[in-house]
Structure 1
């Protein structure tokens, strides 16, 4: 466990998870045996391992998971490329900046909590990080109902730097600058990627 790191706020969440079996103990005494299990699972789900970007240019994945969307779309009168990464409950849920950027704004948009791997998740609650040339959007899923931004507008971030956290899985999208085409995307749908290390666009 040397060097093991968890996302901020995780220990409080783990304590709450560990308290649930204690509250159930009067009705079902063996539940108290689940205290260390509940605590350990909550900590593991919110682990925050170190990452070192291997690329010095292009755009890195903002999340651990599998690529779920690679498409062109119209955005403010321009054709833009979007790549989305679906985070399963077993993936690391700390998000990292795809490229060096100054965050111009952080905007929360309320919405539904549908499964993040479906097309209907386009209507889900989200937080947008406008980084000028590109945009990162974190989308809540059926289980992940809280997105935790760690930066505000004006923050200057390096490639691969942590900027947010979503507990228990969700989706992270990158909307690339207009000059990026589908031919520049070096990943495919279904491909496994790692936040801050895997290159999405070269």
Structure 2
């Protein structure tokens, strides 16, 4: 397991800040020894929580042209037929995965193929499980088409704490299943929109592992 590049500068800055905050306790008020230990313990726990947020674990990625892989670690909070109004403008099956601040937050390609559509939308920062977060929050929309001509739309959605969405792909790119295409900082959600005749392999409240869990199978 490695630390994701999005966390490098933040983790270094945080380490310096915590060091600056703790040092005066030891040098200028040594009589409060017990509080030194408490402050140091709180600082270490806080730093480790931030550190684990940026972890980048190795994953064994299943391969299959018709397989749809979970784009993120988290919990399935929505499985429903819905109208997708931005790109397809028809009915699709929506699967939504909510990421808590304790989950890995890098975003992975659910299928391999050509990125046919990409758009960034500025917006609000409603809590990620809010029904309108999919259409009102800051978000990106991506559509990948596999070699069979089947298209899957997936959307990074910022949450109340997630104030920065990153992406590393452009329209026209060839993308590979399970590889990272972006990152969302501090709590968020990813929606996936599939053809109606897809086979769904997950259930509500099920936990997913990005790049490993097969959430659906596309029609052949």
TM-score (structure 1 length as normaliser): 0.86
TM-score (structure 2 length as normaliser): 0.79
Residues 118 and 77 of structure 1, relative CA distance in 2, 3 Å threshold: closer
SS at match of 2:55: coil
Counterpart residue number, 1:185: 200
Q: In 1, distance between residues paired with 2:42 and 2:95?
A: 39
Counterpart residue number, 1:12: 9
Q: Deviation string for 1:63-107 (max 9, x for gaps)? A: 111001111122344221111100111111111111112112332
Q: Is the 8 A contact 1:15 1:39 kept in 2?
A: no
* Structure 2, unpaired ranges of 5+: 27-35, 146-150
SS at match of 1:131: strand
Q: In 1, distance between residues paired with 2:128 and 2:89?
A: 27
1:138-149 correspondence to structure 2 within 5 Å: 138-149=156-167
Task: Tell me whether 1:41 sits opposite 2:49 in the alignment.
Answer: yes
* Structure 1, unpaired ranges of 5+: none
Task: Tell me whether 1:172 sits opposite 2:181 in the alignment.
Answer: no
SS at match of 1:119: coil
1:110-121 correspondence to structure 2 within 5 Å: 110-121=122-133
From 148, 151, 173, the equivalent of 1:155 is: 173
SS at match of 1:103: strand
Q: In 1, distance between residues paired with 2:79 and 2:19?
A: 45
Alignment coverage as a number of residue pairs: 196
More strand by share: 2
Counterpart residue number, 2:62: 54
Counterpart residue number, 2:30: none
Residues 113 and 141 of structure 1, relative CA distance in 2, 3 Å threshold: same
From 142, 148, 162, the equivalent of 1:129 is: 142
1:31-110 correspondence to structure 2 within 5 Å: 31=39, 36-56=44-64, 57-75=66-84, 76-110=88-122
